[in-house]
Amino acid sequence: MEIRLRRVGNSLGVILPKEILDRYALREGDDLELVAEDGKLTLHTTDVNFQRQIAAARIVMEKYRVALKKLAE
């Protein structure tokens, strides 16, 4: 499927076809992750709850860094 880059303000964007939006149950405001590897761009849906859990885990790991390091020894 070919899509074209379009000007959106000072940036460029893509318009996702309705069939793709419906197939993946995407709605306005959903978060997508853009991955660039091996010369390819890939969009992935993100799990908002998982992202919140990862953010919370990072805060805890930073706060208790010394204790966690001791436990790992």
- Residue 53: inside a domain, yes or no? yes
Judged against a pLDDT cut of 90, whether residue 62 lies above it is answered with yes
According to DSSP, the β-strands at 6-8 and 11-13 are antiparallel
21, 25, 29, 33 alpha-carbon torsion, rounded to 10°: -80
Count of domains forming the chain? 1
15-61 pLDDT, tens digit per residue, is 999 999 998 888 898 889 899 999 999 998 887 777 778 888 889 99
1 in a structural domain: no
Report whether 46 contacts 31 (CB < 8 A): yes
- The domain containing residue 64 runs over which residues? 6-72
